[in-house]
Structure 1
């Protein structure tokens, strides 16, 4: 990321952290250059970019001033604490940057955006996406990369289409992605589950299912599992790739939070696949905003043609305007700037969540169990004492203006459920996380004593 883009993030943080009002003047260029240890030209470049996005405005021979309302989305002062919401924090959406990209896309591509595209997606977006994927250790030829209208579309197509192994059953982690579970059960597709916990999978059980079952593919979230928050180790990912090759079972790897990885050595399962049995899915919804509805599917050669045909029959193409705007957003470097900003914010929230839960767990009481993940994430879970009801706990917390979401939709019908409580702080501000966790655990402890 360019230095001036990093500086733009710093300046936005400065504005957000300072009680600026409409027309308040920013520090001088000389002062900012000294404060951030960079050249005046870098400061000027950053300020000019912020001005283009209408965050600030310039007065000749006077300086730069704040535009009213730019931080209003970050001013959350209500009493409600939302530990249920899984969508990104709207206060961190890159509204202005993406508006600029949409306008630029219309100017650049004009009528091409308002005609039918292709089932594979926009060539220029595929080109830049392929380059970006290499930073995740995903190296793929152009013909193996397909643009999809969100990961949910990719999953529905994969569930419906035939696979080269001739098998029909879908294996999914439990708990798992609730919308995919709903899709499979609504359409009565053959699906079974395998338990996953903070300790990982029972790989002996998994191998038995691969060997004896009619498993078409195994759907997994190896990194920052939803809703558990845990990740596979490198050895577990390597073992999954080996088992897939040995028993001719495909792995559908949903790497939806790849952009939040802090460990540069943490590679996806795809990186260990030597038999073309791993399908890699990458979403932009959790890092930019959900309404974008653009994702990437990287498929083996044997699946590319049928997937493309099923997609063409499903929706002809994904939104060309969204694709063009995303292409410009990625190519310009704006995405790197945004990713750096939101990753830092989420890392801070994840650390606060982990610290608060660790402290509450060590205080005793035995009403719940919290296992610390190797890398804290903004979503995690605690295991409630068997005597406590998850539904009653959520209901009581709601009366105290604390929202949580039930684990029930994350399980297949009839699959044994663990007494888990999901916690998500993507939409809880840093200064309220400790308070919220304290209130949640306090109510749990009170319920356990009754």
Structure 2
């Protein structure tokens, strides 16, 4: 990342934390150059970029001032938390770090640059210039693919709908999914009456012997998995587990659908996807750009094995003709300009703070058997067991009265397979300073209801 981009991130963080509030004057160019050990031209470039994005404004002969405060509201106590909604149920990206201004600029640029293309249908696989950018971007995730393997979709959800509907070379029809697993895929399979079976997944991962037994049955069309930052568990498979899944896929001719929806939050440079370990083309790699930017973007990417490309493209046309050209063009400009890289670092830093606060809050309550049973390797979401004699709806209703919104993991299981009651906690939309107090409220209500029962 260039020096001026690093400086922008540092200044934005100081604004977000309230060090520079709305209307405050920012440090002089000379002061910043000395503090961050850079040239004055670097500071000027950073200030100019921030002014273009309407984060600051300049007054001649005076300096630069903050115009847009991006800080979260602060909550420091249980009493304060009771005056606002703490939503531990929503998994949408944090709206406080949405790149509104940046992306608005890119949309305007896209309308100018692609005005002729906006009034015609696009190509089957997506905007060629965007695919070229995505190919280089995917290289950074150790997903090395040819351009003709990359198909732009209307979010990962569309890619899953196509894969579920289309025939595979093996002629098999049964889908294998993790339990718990992606609730919208479960709903899709149930609605479409697609044959589906589940395999348990917990904090330690998947029982690989059981997985091999299911693969060996000869009826699995594909295995859908979230190896990284599983939702709702929040845990990731180990390198050895991912290598073994890739090996078994090759041995039994089973395709793997790898949903790497939170790849951008990865801090471990050695944490590669299953795709990187596959010795044969049996892995379908899915990547969403909605989770890192905003849900309304509806742009995802599927990296397909050669044997599936034509069939996938044909079914895509039937279902949706093509993906929004405007969204694709805006994303291309956003990525080419370097804005995506800056935003990724910003949201990663923001989510890492939330993860740290969640870990600290759960550790502080580890004397409680339920909190101690929560998975240790957490992302922005995790799960914890509930007392068997405490109905979830009773707890949900009690917490709602205290403005804390929670969800169970029931919808993440196939019908009839939800046996262990668990609470699902997601902190992506909870202010950093409210996570600990929110967890404390949850503990208080669980204990109160347990005693009363």
TM-score computed with the length of structure 2 as normaliser: 0.95
Name the CA distance, whole Å, in 2 between partners of 1:422 and 1:32: 44
Name the CA distance, whole Å, in 2 between partners of 1:129 and 1:172: 27
Name the CA distance, whole Å, in 1 between partners of 2:73 and 2:191: 40
Mapping for residues 30-429 of structure 1, pairs under 5 Å: 30-67=30-67, 70-71=68-69, 74-75=72-73, 79-361=84-366, 363-364=367-368, 366-374=369-377, 376-429=378-431
Secondary structure at 1:127 match in 2: helix
2:374–2:382 Cα contact (<8 Å) kept = no
**Cα distance change of structure 1 residues 71 and 21 upon mapping to structure 2, 3 Å threshold:** closer
TM-fit CA distance, 1:20: 5.2
**What is residue 433 of structure 1 aligned with on the other side?**
435
Name the CA distance, whole Å, in 2 between partners of 1:9 and 1:348: 15
Unaligned runs of 5+ in 1: none
Name the CA distance, whole Å, in 2 between partners of 1:243 and 1:385: 37
**What is residue 78 of structure 2 aligned with on the other side?**
none
Deviates more, 1:284-293 or 1:203-212: 203-212
Deviant stretches of 4+, over 4 Å = 19-22
**What is residue 17 of structure 2 aligned with on the other side?**
17
Deviation per CA, 1:259-317: give whole Å up to 9, x if none. Answer: 00110000000001111110000001111111100011000000001000000111111
How much is the aligned-residue C-alpha RMSD, in angstroms? 1.6
Name the CA distance, whole Å, in 2 between partners of 1:379 and 1:367: 16
1:368–1:385 Cα contact (<8 Å) kept = no
Deviation per CA, 1:73-104: give whole Å up to 9, x if none. Answer: 73477521111110001110001111111111
- The count of aligned residue pairs is 445
**Cα distance change of structure 1 residues 197 and 311 upon mapping to structure 2, 3 Å threshold:** same
Name the CA distance, whole Å, in 1 between partners of 2:24 and 2:152: 44
TM-fit CA distance, 1:354: 1.1
TM-fit CA distance, 1:134: 0.8
1:391–1:406 Cα contact (<8 Å) kept = no
1:178–1:411 Cα contact (<8 Å) kept = yes
1:174–1:196 Cα contact (<8 Å) kept = yes
Name the CA distance, whole Å, in 1 between partners of 2:296 and 2:437: 31
**Cα distance change of structure 1 residues 85 and 212 upon mapping to structure 2, 3 Å threshold:** same
Name the CA distance, whole Å, in 2 between partners of 1:316 and 1:44: 46
**What is residue 80 of structure 2 aligned with on the other side?**
none
Name the CA distance, whole Å, in 2 between partners of 1:232 and 1:76: 35
1:251–1:277 Cα contact (<8 Å) kept = yes
Name the CA distance, whole Å, in 2 between partners of 1:119 and 1:258: 26
Deviation per CA, 1:303-344: give whole Å up to 9, x if none. Answer: 001000000111111000000000011111110100001101
1:237–1:272 Cα contact (<8 Å) kept = yes
Name the CA distance, whole Å, in 2 between partners of 1:21 and 1:263: 34
1:148–1:294 Cα contact (<8 Å) kept = yes
**Cα distance change of structure 1 residues 371 and 103 upon mapping to structure 2, 3 Å threshold:** same
Deviates more, 1:299-308 or 1:395-404: 395-404
TM-fit CA distance, 1:113: 2.4
Deviates more, 1:19-28 or 1:294-303: 19-28
Deviation per CA, 1:371-427: give whole Å up to 9, x if none. Answer: 4434x3111111223233333222221121100122121111112432111000001
Name the CA distance, whole Å, in 1 between partners of 2:403 and 2:387: 23
1:73–1:90 Cα contact (<8 Å) kept = no
Name the CA distance, whole Å, in 2 between partners of 1:322 and 1:212: 42
TM-fit CA distance, 1:38: 2.0
